[in-house]
Amino acid sequence: MDETSIGWWGVPLAIFAGAIRISTPFLFVSLGEMVTEKSGRINLGLEGTLIMGAMSGYGIAYLTGSPWLGVLVAGLVGIAFGMLHAGICSLPKVNDIAVGIALMLLGTGLAFYLGKPLVQPQAPNLPSINFGWWSDLQQVQSALKINALFIIGVVLAPVFLWALRNTRWGLILRIVGDSSDAARAMGYSPLAVRLAATAFGGFMAGVGGSFLSLYYPGSWNEGLSSGQGITAVALVIFARWNPMNCLWASLLFGGASALGPALQSVGVTQGYYLFNAAPYVLTLLILVLSSSSHRHIAGAPGELSVTR
Amino acid sequence: MNSDLVLRFGAGAKIFAVSLFAIVLSLIVFGIFVALSGVNPLDVYDLMYMGAFGSWFSWQNTLLRSAPLLLTALCTALPAQMGMVIIGGEGAFVLGGLAAAAAGLLLSDMNAPALIVQGVMVIAGMCAGGAIIASAGALRHWRGVNETISSLLLSYICIAVLNQMVEGPMRDPTSLNKPSTRALPDWAMLGNIPGMDIHVGLIFGLLFCIVAYVLMFHTTFGFAARMVGGNVRAARMAGLPVGRLILVVTFLGGAAAGLGGMIEVAAVQGRANATIASGYGLTGILVAFLARQNPLIVIPVAILLGGIDASGGLLQRRLDMPDASVVVLQGIIFVILLASESVQGHLNILGWLPRIKPRTSAVAAAKGAE
Amino acid sequence: MTSALVHEPVPPQKAVKLEVVDMSKSFGGIAALASVSLRVEAGSVHALLGENGAGKSTLVKCIMGFYTPDTGAVMVNDKEVEIDNPRQAHMLGIGMVYQHFTLVPSMTVLENLVMGRSHVTAFIDWKKERAELSAFVDSMPFSVPLDLPVASLAAGEKQKAEILKQLYLNARFLILDEPTSVLTPQEADEILGLVRDMAHTGGITVLIITHKFREVLAYADEVSVLRRGHYVGGGKVADLTVDAMAKMMIGERDIAPAATRTERAPGVICLQVRGLTADDENGDAAVNGVDLDVAAGEIVGIAGVSGNGQSELVEVLAGQRPLTGGAITVQGDTYHATRAEMLRHKLALLPEEPLHNACVGRMSVAENMAFRNFDQPPFSKGVWLSKSRMRAEARGLIERYRVKTSSPDAPIATLSGGNVQRAVLARELGGQVDVLVAANPVFGLDFAAVADIHGQIVEARNRGAAVLLVSEDLDELLELSDRILVMFDGKIVYETPIEQADRTNIGRSMAGH
């Protein structure tokens, strides 16, 4: 890359491009987890689901040559993991957080086991749409190459917001998450709704994972995900269970994660690894600032265990 | 009297039975899984036994691997007595190792006596690990931040700090492929238990487990801590200093993992580098859950899982299975354990606060509808 | 969700007559209902009277289809019907308002009502729904704001919204489970009056579950009394006296006479609260400057509708909630709810829902009984704990307070509610007590246990303890207190010595007038 042409201007540009690239898995995982948490469950196992999605999406794309088929299969694998989580959680006296930890371990192990033969081969990547055709600058062009999944995610956020308020399914989800007693009294089965919501959350996390292996970084290896899943779960709390806030928060996190690489691109290599920790530090700071020891978080679903 | 005895020991027997059931069932499921990927499960079982407990050599290997597991398991098990689910053992382990390496290098450069160097390394490792987990405890108590999420985030931050230090300020310029700190001098390293090829870290781990058990189950401090863990409202009503108890217990948990990191540096690696973050923290979580968060039961469980861990290398060499096989088996055990525990109908065995329901008859009414 | 596809019978449009014939239900060999028969005439108000555990809720749960009865049948308008689940009950026009509200707190009344329907379209046209519902509400005798979240409504409004919802869902046989437990006397009168009027004009039939004779006398046409799962009597309310009903309800058991307060001049002030403020869990001010004094040998009762800051006040005194301002002094010393202060001042607490507030469910009865003094000799030697001493002491307390448990080592969560309460009572009142704070100490207990616990509280007072008694049950306060304060909106708004206490004035202050 030719840095000299725009010099330090490359930093905000790289952060912008990085924010969009890196935020995409955050966006999908957090939108899915938002739905799960709205139903009164938390699924910490999405970290494992994300990695399974990355592995299976990559494998299918490699075998069939179609990255979109890979995305679909990644989502289906996510559904399977979501249903496993919800299935165990529907047994009496099982804690959703513990099940999440177990699935984090299982998902990671399975992905590394099954994905071992996929480390070498190169699968086709997802397409992107070039919004930078008007510029001669190579940096601007590459920054405005926006991936298709991100655009889908951006569209989904307001659709979710609308659906939570104006559709029967959206309202049932809110009822179950806020008071399972009320839901039962109305004749809705909390377990069934949570099963669906967790399966959906798994689907979104699987798709988010496939983005990692099929677009950015765009290959499969065991270091692909380090905490994006768990960060996205925390991000939902920060977003106050509002889909639009999930979008803004994902972009913020994407921007924070892009800081290190962006600075590196202009030759600042000091503290590269610390900049890698930026999203975790940011998540933690935000959690600290948005929580309180003797107060419920405003907008939290009444049945959610983590906020009680 | 008879019913008292049944109550006191029957629960323990039931826990043992459930764990055994979960492990046996998991081995069967794992066998089906490897059979599907084209490996004969009987070969796998055979090799696992050989690799874990088949010879004195493999026993030593197993015990070597269980030493850090004893300590990282305590990082989850001790806070669990207070109703907290901490999963940041990996971070405390890594930071403990880094702090111990820093302290050890500093003091050995000054030619301090070996015992002093090792003592300060132990303290540095325990303080660093303890501080990390205690901060998750403090955030939970004073800011209401979920400790499961925060401890994992802290863990990622610790690993980033380790990477930064060994690639930057603490890097030994001669370590080219695998950035590391300088090596500790041989005289500052922890030795072996006399007559065995096992370093004294195993003794540290066993002692820590026993002390933790006595502390939690036979002292007034432990009683108070378990009250907080069982129902924080009842503990407050009894006037207990909840915040202080949480800080101390989370610190002890983190200190255990930090000590594990120190041992990894001072008895195994000899220096700090990225390999000390090799998953002992994660396996420790599973050990703690299988042991029902009881520090004494951690000991046999850590040996068992240390054995599984130790056999991984053999599976890889002889059957060409991926090194993640062990993680798959661990994941299966974890999932099946949680499910079977519920099926056995144990009361709130994992140690978190009961989900408090309003005293409504509508709840009961609605439950009846299920 | 699936029922939209099934052809449903249209619920009846006027009051329903309902009969229960020879209904029995047992749980694990224990008969909760034994051959109960009962007839509720269309357009009447029928009271179902009985103490806790008498089988009232089992009976209505069988009617609503939550439980399947072992024997017996339900007849609606003289036709035998099968009710397997609450949805079928709704189809037959039977609806129930639960004791604790089942509306979704974060949703508006409008959203709650629409979602309560069995048919909801996949996409909801809020404009149309609001117009239709406004029209329906206007046709009803009482109204509720449609666009406010349920959480922001007062208890009386929530109760109205619950009833409105049932009427909106075409319930023509309305079961009200302890409908007035969270209302001021005036709110209770208003709502029961409206419901009775609707019944008497033939629109609905009402079955009220209650243990309050006052409400039976004032609003019910007929009454049925249950005791230990059996129908023990009933008839037209006009033909019955309170004594007769009480006798049916309690049976011929000996009830320890309520302990009488001995005459004594109030002693020195033991518990003093000045300008106390505290927040609730949403961070909103719940206690807004409470001043109160409790003298030795005095029971001060605090009345109020739940949610007016009483529980927060008790939690501050119990050390379960930080105060945001003001000061508490106990026997002249500043008090921060530390363990040392509690021990020094011999402070005891009887919180509501003892299993939730004062016990660790999975620890044993013996351990729970040692919470106050596990770190004192003889339970501890230095830092070491003596479990055998704990067990030995617990055996004594179990005996003395008649706690029914299989063993001192049984987890306390396995005990029944009354026995958990007794275990806590044994722990808190087993030794010398100088200051006692009690909150709804007998909630959900049967007569024998209530009399027992009331006796213990009065006895502590007679021995010279300063007692602060917070209760939602005005009768309990009128029976036990030397002085009554009323709490409204986080403040003490009314005070009266017991001799001049008057239900109407207290009720008015509870509503903030």
pLDDT: is C372 or C266 the higher one?
C372
Alpha helices (runs of H) in chain B, residue ranges in sequence order: 2-36, 41-53, 56-80, 89-109, 114-138, 147-167, 201-218, 220-230, 232-237, 242-263, 280-290, 295-319, 325-343, 361-369
> Mutate which of C104, C175, C311, C323 to test chain A, going by most A C-beta atoms within 10 A?
C104
Judged against a pLDDT cut of 70, whether residue A77 lies above it is answered with yes
CB B293 within 8 A of CB B230: no
Helix (H, G, I), strand (E, B) or coil at C96: strand
3-state secondary structure C398-447: HHHCCCCCCCCCCEHHHCCHHHHHHHHHHHHHCCCCCEEEEECCCCCCCH
Closest-CA residue of chain A to C283: A295
User: Do both C49 and C21 map to the same domain?
Assistant: yes
Fold for the domain defined by A7-290? ABC transporter involved in vitamin B12 uptake, BtuC (1.10.3470)
User: Do both C466 and C342 map to the same domain?
Assistant: yes
Which residue of A102, A108, A112 is in closest CB contact with B338? A102
Model confidence band, residue C131 (pLDDT cutoffs 50, 70, 90)? very high
Q: Which amino acid is at C226?
A: L
User: Do both C106 and C222 map to the same domain?
Assistant: yes
In a domain, C355, yes or no: no
Model confidence band, residue B119 (pLDDT cutoffs 50, 70, 90)? very high
Interface contact C227, partner A, CB < 8 A: no
Report residue C506 as tokens.
């207290």
Judged against a pLDDT cut of 70, whether residue C54 lies above it is answered with yes
Judged against a pLDDT cut of 90, whether residue C110 lies above it is answered with yes
Judged against a pLDDT cut of 80, whether residue C7 lies above it is answered with no
Domain final residue pick, C224, C249, C274: C249
Domain final residue pick, C402, C430, C458: C430
Angstrom distance (rounded) from CA B14 to CA B344: 9
B234 and C371 in contact by Cβ < 8 A?
A: yes
Interface contact A178, partner C, CB < 8 A: yes
Interface contact B244, partner C, CB < 8 A: no
Domain final residue pick, C249, C282, C303: C249
User: Do both C461 and C482 map to the same domain?
Assistant: yes
The residues spanned by each domain of chain A are 7-290
- Classify residue B345 by burial, with Cβ atoms within 10 Å: 0-12, 13-18, 19+: exposed
> Mutate which of B158, B316, B328, B336 to test chain A, going by most A C-beta atoms within 10 A?
B328
Model confidence band, residue C384 (pLDDT cutoffs 50, 70, 90)? very high
User: Do both C417 and C484 map to the same domain?
Assistant: no
Which residue of A105, A185, A288 is in closest CB contact with B286? A105
Residues in B 276-305 with any Cβ partner in A closer than 8 A: 282, 285-286, 289
The shortest C-alpha distance from A284 to chain B (Å) reads 6
**Residue B306: CATH number of its domain:** 1.10.3470
Which residue of B4, B237, B363 is in closest CB contact with C351? B237
In a domain, C391, yes or no: yes
In chain B, what percentage of residues exceed pLDDT 90? 74
Judged against a pLDDT cut of 70, whether residue B344 lies above it is answered with no
User: Do both C220 and C273 map to the same domain?
Assistant: no
Structural domain boundaries enclosing B198? 2-369
At C215 the pLDDT is 87
Interface contact B370, partner C, CB < 8 A: no
Judged against a pLDDT cut of 90, whether residue B209 lies above it is answered with yes
Could you read off the pLDDT of C451-472 as tens digits, one per residue?
888 988 999 999 999 999 999 8
Average pLDDT for residues C158-175, to the nearest whole number?
A: 90
Q: Which residue shows structure tokens 């403090």?
A: B138
Q: Which chains touch A (3 or more CB pairs under 8 A)?
A: B, C
What's the structural domain count of chain C? 3
What's the structural domain count of chain B? 1
- Distance, first Cα to last Cα, chain A: 50
Average pLDDT for residues C40-53, to the nearest whole number?
A: 89
Residue C41: alpha-carbon gap to chain centroid:
28
Judged against a pLDDT cut of 80, whether residue B237 lies above it is answered with yes
A174 and C104 in contact by Cβ < 8 A?
A: yes
Model confidence band, residue B9 (pLDDT cutoffs 50, 70, 90)? low
User: Do both C452 and C391 map to the same domain?
Assistant: no
Task: Report the DSSP pairing between strands C45-49 and C205-210.
Answer: parallel
Taking only Cα atoms into account, the Rg of chain C, rounded to an integer number of angstroms, comes to 25
CB neighbourhood size of C322 (10 A): 13
Angstrom distance (rounded) from CA B39 to CA C400: 66
**Residue C476: CATH number of its domain:** 3.40.50.300
CB A112 within 8 A of CB B327: yes
Helix axis angle for B242-263 and B280-290, nearest 10°, is 130
The shortest C-alpha distance from B115 to chain A (Å) reads 34
Residues of C in contact with B365 (CB under 8 A): 57, 61, 64, 66, 96, 98
Angstrom distance (rounded) from CA C299 to CA C34: 42
Could you read off the pLDDT of C212-223 as tens digits, one per residue?
888 889 999 999
Could you read off the pLDDT of C133-162 as tens digits, one per residue?
999 888 887 788 999 999 888 877 888 899
Judged against a pLDDT cut of 50, whether residue B361 lies above it is answered with no
Interface contact C413, partner A, CB < 8 A: no
Strand partners, C38: C20
Q: Residue A298 contacts by C-beta under 8 Å, 6 or more apart in sequence?
A: A240, C282
C124 and A166 in contact by Cβ < 8 A?
A: yes
The shortest C-alpha distance from B160 to chain C (Å) reads 36
Angstrom distance (rounded) from CA A212 to CA A202: 16
Closest-CA residue of chain B to C374: B220
B334 and A230 in contact by Cβ < 8 A?
A: no
User: Do both C228 and C314 map to the same domain?
Assistant: no
Residues of A in contact with C118 (CB under 8 A): 187
In chain B, what percentage of residues exceed pLDDT 70? 90
Judged against a pLDDT cut of 80, whether residue B161 lies above it is answered with yes
The rounded mean pLDDT for chain B is 88
> Mutate which of B338, B341, B359, B360 to test chain A, going by most A C-beta atoms within 10 A?
B338
Interface contact A264, partner B, CB < 8 A: no
Q: Which chains touch B (3 or more CB pairs under 8 A)?
A: A, C
Interface contact A186, partner C, CB < 8 A: yes
User: Do both C139 and C21 map to the same domain?
Assistant: yes
User: Do both C415 and C373 map to the same domain?
Assistant: yes
Structural domain boundaries enclosing C187? 3-249
At A287 the pLDDT is 87
Residues of C in contact with A179 (CB under 8 A): 102, 104-105
Which residue of B145, B322, B360 is in closest CB contact with A287? B145
A294 and C120 in contact by Cβ < 8 A?
A: no
8-state DSSP, C258: P
Report residue B209 as tokens.
């487990």
Which residue of A94, A237, A277 is in closest CB contact with B156? A277
B143 and A291 in contact by Cβ < 8 A?
A: yes
- Classify residue C500 by burial, with Cβ atoms within 10 Å: 0-12, 13-18, 19+: exposed
User: Do both C213 and C178 map to the same domain?
Assistant: yes
B370 and A101 in contact by Cβ < 8 A?
A: no
B324 and A234 in contact by Cβ < 8 A?
A: no
Judged against a pLDDT cut of 80, whether residue B13 lies above it is answered with no
At B55 the pLDDT is 93
User: Do both C445 and C403 map to the same domain?
Assistant: no
